[in-house]
């Protein structure tokens, strides 16, 4: 098949949506399909055309940026040109310009598949409301024209007003999960950087508002009483994140507890296995519907690391599927501390057969299900 994939931000951007799209595209190429990605040229230093691991990437010049949103006047022309030679159009939401792909595809008689990663947050502020209203409008058009919509889980879909509008179009597929090999020398390097703590609590992801990081930071004083030698180690970009200046907002809190914190910055995907293996528990304190799953959860589990996550729709699914962790009440630091402590003192209770884990989060199964959706 010839597949046209539309996404607002692609490599070198780092986010769960980008990682998902890249894995999907590259695995489809390995199966013999042709994949072309159309994304914004969010950085002027990026080439307009390139091929990355067999995937054709076409970037559209950005005329204007509004928060995380981008305005690309020439997008319709590129979409039309590429859609003419495509069998399937796959848009990754949230994406304002998804309606451009959907309308073009419908006119040309192409199959339209939407991958729904998350709803929008509904954050306050005039610009936020205008931006989000525009995105919702574009996505409503795309949803109405789509043949199928692919959410990660039914749990999240049941709590999404957007997905509830299209119940007959939903086809659930767990995200593509990939893990690398553990590198002992890298683990030791990071452990030394953290000053060799006895207990390591991990956080994986970019520093963003929806991640609920203040609840984790505010747990430091009580965690010190339980574990005198511990560090919270952050893996992921914390400065220069597209559309985010959140690190500056929490910098005072970071400074206050810096003795128990360590920031590794952005880590190569192949090295994340070493990070998970380093951690005694991975904590995802997200407090917003922008978080719909958390790819880092199954990745950590596959390296023997239990997880603690907010009891949010979609986010709680990996724990419920595997039993390899616990959930806590969103925005409840006290509950976070109690559950973190319980996991750290009972790690053996949160281990399951690795073969079973690989069956649940099978990359091969995910790609097969996408091929099924694209063909039928």
Question: What are the pLDDT digits (tens) for 296-314?
Answer: 999 999 999 999 999 999 9
Contact status, residue 204 vs residue 274, Cβ threshold 8 Å: no
- Residues written for the chain: 376
Contact status, residue 7 vs residue 17, Cβ threshold 8 Å: yes
3-class SS of residue 300 = helix
DSSP result, 67-96: TTEEE-TTHHHHHHHHHTT-SEEEEEES-T
Question: What are the pLDDT digits (tens) for 26-41?
Answer: 999 999 999 999 999 9
pLDDT value at 354 more than 60: yes
Can you read off the two tokens belonging to residue 233? 């180690």
pLDDT band for 123, please (50, 70, 90 cuts).
Answer: low
**Virtual torsion, Cα 253, 254, 260, 262, nearest 10 deg:** 160
Q: Compute CA 347 distance to the chain's CA centroid, rounded to the nearest angstrom.
A: 26
- Report how far residue 209's alpha carbon sits from residue 359's, in angstroms, rounded to the nearest whole number: 33
Question: What are the pLDDT digits (tens) for 178-211?
Answer: 999 999 999 999 999 999 999 999 999 988 888 9
Question: What are the pLDDT digits (tens) for 132-172?
Answer: 888 999 999 999 999 999 999 999 999 999 999 999 999 99
The angle subtended at Cα 283 by Cα 150 and Cα 207, nearest 5°, is: 75
Can you read off the two tokens belonging to residue 30? 């390995």
Nearest CA to 307 among 319, 290, 289, 322? Answer: 319
Which domains does the chain possess?
Answer: 2-177+362-375 (3.40.50.2000), 184-358 (3.40.50.2000)
Can you read off the two tokens belonging to residue 8? 């607002």
Can you read off the two tokens belonging to residue 325? 């962790």
Is the pTM higher than 0.85?
yes
Strands 34-41 and 55-61: parallel
């Amino acid at each position: 098949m010839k597949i046209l994939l539309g996404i607002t931000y692609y490599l070198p951007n780092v986010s769960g949506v980008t990682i998902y799209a890249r894995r999907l595209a590259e695995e489809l190429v390995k199966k013999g399909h042709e994949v072309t990605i159309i994304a914004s040229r969010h950085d002027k230093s990026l080439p307009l055309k390139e091929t990355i691991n067999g995937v054709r990437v076409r970037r559209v010049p950005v005329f204007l940026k509004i928060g995380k949103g981008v305005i690309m006047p020439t997008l319709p022309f590129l979409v039309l040109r590429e859609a003419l030679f495509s069998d399937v159009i796959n848009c990754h939401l949230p994406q304002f310009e998804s309606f451009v792909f959907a309308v073009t595809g419908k006119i040309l008689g192409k199959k339209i598949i939407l991958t729904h990663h998350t709803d929008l947050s509904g954050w306050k502020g005039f610009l936020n409301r205008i931006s989000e209203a525009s995105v919702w409008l574009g996505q409503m058009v795309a949803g109405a024209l789509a043949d199928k919509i692919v959410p990660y889980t039914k749990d999240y879909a049941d709590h999404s007003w957007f997905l509830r509008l299209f119940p007959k179009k939903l086809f659930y597929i767990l995200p593509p999960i990939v893990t690398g090999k553990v590198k002992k020398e890298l683990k030791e390097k990071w452990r030394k950087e953290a000053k060799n703590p006895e207990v390591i609590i991990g956080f994986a992801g970019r520093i963003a508002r929806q991640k609920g990081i203040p609840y984790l930071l505010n747990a430091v004083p009580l965690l010190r009483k339980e574990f005198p030698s511990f560090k919270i180690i952050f893996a992921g970009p914390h400065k220069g994140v597209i559309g985010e200046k959140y690190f500056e907002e929490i910098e005072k809190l970071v400074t206050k507890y810096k003795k128990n914190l360590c920031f590794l910055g952005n880590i190569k995907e192949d090295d994340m296995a070493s990070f998970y293996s380093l951690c005694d528990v991975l904590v995802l304190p997200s407090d917003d519907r922008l978080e719909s799953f958390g790819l880092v959860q199954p990745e950590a589990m596959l390296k023997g690391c239990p997880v603690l996550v907010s009891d949010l729709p979609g986010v709680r699914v990996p724990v419920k599927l595997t039993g390899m962790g616990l959930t806590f009440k969103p925005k409840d630091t006290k509950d976070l501390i109690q559950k973190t402590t319980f996991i750290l003192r009972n790690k053996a209770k949160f281990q399951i057969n690795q073969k079973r884990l690989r069956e649940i989060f099978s990359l091969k199964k995910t790609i097969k299900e996408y091929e099924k959706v694209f063909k039928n």
